[in-house]
Amino acid sequence: MAVMEKLYQKDLIFSSNATTQQEVFTEISSMLLEKGIVKESFKDAIIERESNYPTGLDLSPVAEGLPNVAIPHTDTEHCDAKAVVFIKLTNPIPFNNMIAPDNELNVNYLFMIINNEKTNQTNVLSELMAFMTDVDNIKTLETLETNEDIYNFLTNK
Amino acid sequence: MIKILAACGAGINSSHQIKNGLEEEMKKRGYKVQADAVVIKDITKEMVEEYDIFAPISKPKFSFEIPIPVVEAGPILYRIPAMSAPVFDEIESVIKKLQK
């Protein structure tokens, strides 16, 4: 998981009280814009992208009772960095299922993928999948309260 | 040689994972398979006609009929056997029917 450790940043771990996709994407996009890692077009692009190609992942095939996650992302042209932004949702938000878009899931964690390299060979998705399909990882995540604890856990510190 | 077209929305290369997953597993099962990965919005009817099987991440909505067998391949992305096995089995059964 060495690849992932470099992609998380201490200041890119968030917790949000938003109750809709629109709200959380607006909130996070403006913070990312301030930090210079996305372009202004990012907010609209990620909202539109999520409605056309949803990214919710049902974790019930991994184990019953696990919270669901989503991996929002958009085209490289709207991004200015390579990173994974982690967002803990204090109110679960409905996302549609990436592999069955007609189904809705309540999602507790977002792993937002920021990528500005079109020819990027490192596969963030497979690394994330490896993390999320390990029951112990998600269960540990559930016990962590502060953004710092979450960062330390995600980066193995 | 069976030609498969894998497809996803753009951004994080999930179609490449589908392509690699299908090629690897079908080789293991003894089939000659070659897959290409594209983004869904670039797909045309003419493009699809060049292939034997269409393997999108999920059922996409197109303005045209897909003239070849469609196997939804998203569950492969989980990389856990319980999710990927049914997709591989379905691909295998389509390959058998194609009798190439």
Are B75 and A76 a contacting pair at CB < 8 A? no
Q: Tens digits of per-residue pLDDT, A53-63?
A: 999 999 999 99
Number of domains in chain B: 1
Query: What residue numbers bound the domain in which A131 lies?
Result: 2-154
Percent share of chain A, pLDDT over 70: 96
| Residue A120 pLDDT level (bands cut at 50, 70, 90) | low
Q: What is the CATH number of the domain that holds B87?
A: 3.40.50.2300
- Nearest CA to A69 out of A6, A23, A134, A11 is that of A134
- In A, residues 2-61, which contact B (CB 8 Å cutoff)? 49, 52-53, 61
Is the pLDDT confidence value at B31 over 70?
Answer: yes
Instruction: Look up the CATH number of the domain holding residue A137.
Output: 3.40.930.10
Contacts of A97 in chain B (CB under 8 A): 58
- Torsional class of A149: left (φ above 0), alpha (ψ -120 to 50), beta (otherwise): alpha
> Which ipTM did the prediction report?
0.87
Residue A157 reports pLDDT greater than 80: no
pLDDT tens digits along B34-71: 999 999 989 999 999 999 999 999 988 888 999 999 99
For A125-147, b/e burial (b = at least 16 CB within 10 A) is bbbbbbbbbeeebbeebeeeeeb
Is residue B81 within 8 A of residue A61, CB to CB? The reply is no
Q: Compare A123 and A108 and report the one with higher pLDDT.
A: A108
Q: How far apart are the first and last CA of chain A?
A: 12
Q: Is residue A90 within 8 Å of residue A15, measured between CB atoms? A: yes
What is the pTM (predicted TM-score) of this model? Answer: 0.93
Q: Which residue of B8, B13, B39 to mutate against A (max A Cβ within 10 Å)? A: B13
Residue ranges making up the domain that contains B87: 2-98
Q: Which two tokens stand for residue A101?
A: 């878009």
Residue A1 is predicted with a pLDDT of: 54
- Whether the CB-CB separation of A56 and A73 falls below 8 Å is answered with no
Separation CA A40–CA B37 (nearest Å):
29
Query: How many domains in chain A?
Result: 1
Tokens 């996009």 -> residue: A29
